[in-house]
């Protein structure tokens, strides 16, 4: 029997939200809640004509939006921050109803989206300020570097974090002076539309951020074919197609893709803290998080002690699915996720891996719920050894030396997030710097890097291209323009001076500039 059946979104509320989709035809797609499988909404589907219209309106609106200036755009993003926090409870209920995640994880989405809006609302003006650079001829050559908006940014966002992944990229694009056409995942359209409603109430004009809906192969491709920059969060396989489409048009793309993230526990680590970090890092949002851990490497001297504490902690997790605060893990979001997770675990079990805890669905809690699972004895012959599971499944491995830990952590095509645990901060940071990963947290699972908005976040290898967060997360949505102004003598040889003489003068001048380190 499913616990705490969701409070379904009221029909009039659904009608208000789906009216925000740019769609003119009669086709619809039905969405269901992973909490109990009940119908949530019938989402209007956009046509290619609708996508064309959205981009036309976005292009017309972009110069006006950019002309407001970074300060005014930032003020509206700060208002968005305030409204997100004010409407936190309603947004969290909606996120849970669409994704099945725990209330803690859904609340983290609101916090991260608000933090992103605040960060760029406060700092965009400084990041976009015209920069003076050293000119070819000191004093006579003035060089200004401008950051010019790309134009219309296409945002293709996933179902696992529909608020923060749906808006963190787009908010930065807005701050930089761009307009946005977004295609949220079909499963979580209501969350994206509710946040869009809040964004518009914060003062962002309707045409500045528009939402289209439809199959990724059709509507997602249409965004790639029309945008001036495309940002995509999702699987590596789809990310390659997005990158190929962007390359064909010579537009830029930022891609956050898959991960098979490692956590390393050294022999001097605080084991209680490491266990707590592993619980959060492995099972948040039922493991449906690109930065969560699926490989856990533990120094052999403390391996058995850690394993015992970790397994006990996993058994103690509250698996109740619903809207209140008691839930620790949440459910998988779709039948496809349940099928993939079950297949990975059964393949490993059949080939000799040992399930220490979990290893089975919990359909008594929710249709696609899966018990948090810890395995031991996983080998290269098993599907989950290298392939991303994207569920509440982690494998334990012992190691003997720091060099071996680094080698094991780097034994992956992915490089998105990692974690190192040790009481010796210098040792941990030295080891962390050797791991090929876009983010490495020391004595924390993922929140230290992910919550540090001034720090860039992204992946190495098959985990993607580009960075979100930090100045880099905003400047990716701009073109760099150099304006060089010359006064007095020109850069070439003055009239009446031979080329030979000019070359000699230039040689002397270059030596002087070298000496002055100019």
Domain that holds residue 108: 11-257+471-478
* Sign, CA torsion 198/202/207/210: negative
| Any domain includes 117 | yes
- Residues catalogued as catalytic: 256, 290
pLDDT averaged over every residue in the chain = 96
| Any domain includes 348 | yes
Q: What does the pLDDT average to over 36-40?
A: 93
DSSP, residue by residue, 264-288: EE-TTS-HHHHHHHHHHHHHGGGG-
Residues 285 and 247 in one domain: no
Residues 268 and 154 in one domain: no
| Any domain includes 501 | no
| Any domain includes 385 | yes
pLDDT of residue 3: 41
pLDDT of residue 1: 33
pLDDT of residue 488: 85
Q: Which of 266, 286, 276 is nearest to 362 (CA)?
A: 286
Residues 305 and 441 in one domain: yes
Q: Which of 461, 457, 482, 74 is nearest to 231 (CA)?
A: 457
Dump pLDDT digits (tens) for 63-101: 999 999 999 999 999 999 999 999 999 999 999 999 999
| Any domain includes 498 | no
Residues 99 and 209 in one domain: yes
CATH of the domain at 440: 3.40.309.10
Dihedral, 87, 91, 93, 96 alpha carbons, nearest 10: -150
pLDDT above 70 covers a percentage of the chain that reads 98
Among the listed ranges 1-5, 216-220, 302-306, which one has the minimum average pLDDT value? 1-5
Q: What is the band of 198 on the pLDDT scale with cuts at 50, 70, 90?
A: very high
| Any domain includes 495 | no
pLDDT at 6 > cutoff 80: no
Residues 187 and 314 in one domain: no
| Any domain includes 422 | yes
- Tell me the Cα Rg of the chain: 26
pLDDT of residue 8: 61
Residues 161 and 42 in one domain: yes
CATH of the domain at 192: 3.40.605.10
Residues 340 and 439 in one domain: yes
How many structural domains are present in the chain?
2
pLDDT of residue 274: 98
Dump pLDDT digits (tens) for 448-490: 999 999 999 999 999 999 999 999 999 999 999 999 999 987 8
**Chain centroid offset of residue 436 CA:** 18
* pTM score: 0.95
Residues 184 and 295 in one domain: no
pLDDT of residue 495: 86
Q: Which of 94, 430, 474, 437 is nearest to 290 (CA)?
A: 437
Residues 196 and 267 in one domain: no
């Amino acid at each position: 029997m499913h616990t705490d059946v969701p409070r379904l979104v009221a029909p009039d509320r659904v009608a208000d939200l789906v009216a925000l989709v740019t769609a003119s035809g009669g086709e619809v797609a039905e969405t269901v809640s992973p909490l109990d499988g009940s119908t949530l909404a019938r989402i209007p589907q956009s046509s290619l004509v609708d996508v064309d219209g959205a981009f036309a309106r976005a292009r017309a609106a972009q110069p006006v939006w950019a002309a407001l200036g970074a300060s005014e755009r930032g003020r509206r993003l700060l208002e968005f921050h305030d409204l997100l926090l004010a409407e936190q409870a309603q947004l969290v209920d909606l996120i849970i109803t669409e994704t099945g995640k725990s209330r803690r994880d859904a609340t983290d989405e609101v916090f991260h989206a608000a933090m992103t809006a605040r960060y760029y609302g406060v700092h965009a003006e400084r990041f976009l300020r015209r920069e003076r650079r050293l000119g070819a001829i000191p004093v006579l050559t003035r060089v200004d570097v401008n950051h010019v908006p790309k134009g219309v940014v296409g945002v293709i966002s996933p179902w696992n974090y529909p608020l923060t992944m749906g808006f963190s990229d787009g908010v930065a694009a807005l701050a930089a002076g761009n307009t946005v056409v977004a295609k949220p995942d079909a499963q979580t359209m209501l969350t994206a539309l509710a946040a869009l409603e809040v964004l518009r109430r914060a003062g962002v004009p309707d045409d500045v951020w528009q939402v289209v809906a439809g199959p990724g192969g059709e509507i997602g491709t249409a965004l790639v074919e029309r945008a001036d920059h495309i940002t995509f969060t999702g699987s590596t396989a789809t990310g390659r197609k997005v990158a190929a489409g962007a390359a064909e048009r010579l537009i830029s793309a930022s891609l956050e893709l898959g991960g098979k993230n490692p956590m390393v526990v050294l022999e001097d680590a605080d084991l209680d803290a490491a266990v707590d970090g592993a619980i959060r890092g492995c099972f948040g949002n039922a493991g449906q998080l690109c930065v969560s851990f699926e490989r856990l490497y533990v120094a052999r001297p403390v391996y058995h002690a850690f394993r015992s504490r970790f397994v006990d902690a996993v058994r103690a997790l509250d698996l109740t699915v619903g809207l209140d605060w008691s839930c620790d893990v949440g459910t998988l979001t779709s039948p496809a996720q349940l099928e993939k997770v079950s297949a990975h675990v059964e393949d490993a079990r059949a080939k000799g891996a040992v399930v220490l805890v979990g290893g089975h669905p919990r359909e008594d809690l929710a249709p696609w719920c899966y018990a948090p699972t810890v395995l031991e004895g996983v080998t290269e012959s098993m599907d989950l050894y290298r392939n991303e599971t994207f569920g509440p499944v982690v494998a334990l491995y012992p190691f003997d030396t720091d060099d071996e830990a680094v080698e094991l952590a780097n034994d992956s095509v992915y490089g998105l997030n990692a974690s190192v645990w040790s009481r010796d901060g210098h040792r941990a940071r030295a080891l962390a710097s050797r791991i090929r990963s876009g983010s490495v947290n020391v004595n924390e699972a993922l929140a230290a890097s992910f919550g540090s908005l001034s720090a860039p976040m992204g992946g190495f290898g098959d985990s993607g291209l580009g960075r979100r967060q930090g100045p880099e997360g905003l400047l990716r949505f701009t073109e760099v323009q150099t304006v060089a102004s010359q006064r007095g003598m020109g850069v070439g040889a003055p009239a009446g001076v031979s080329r030979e003489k000019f070359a000699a003068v230039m040689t002397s001048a270059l030596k002087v500039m070298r000496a002055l380190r100019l």
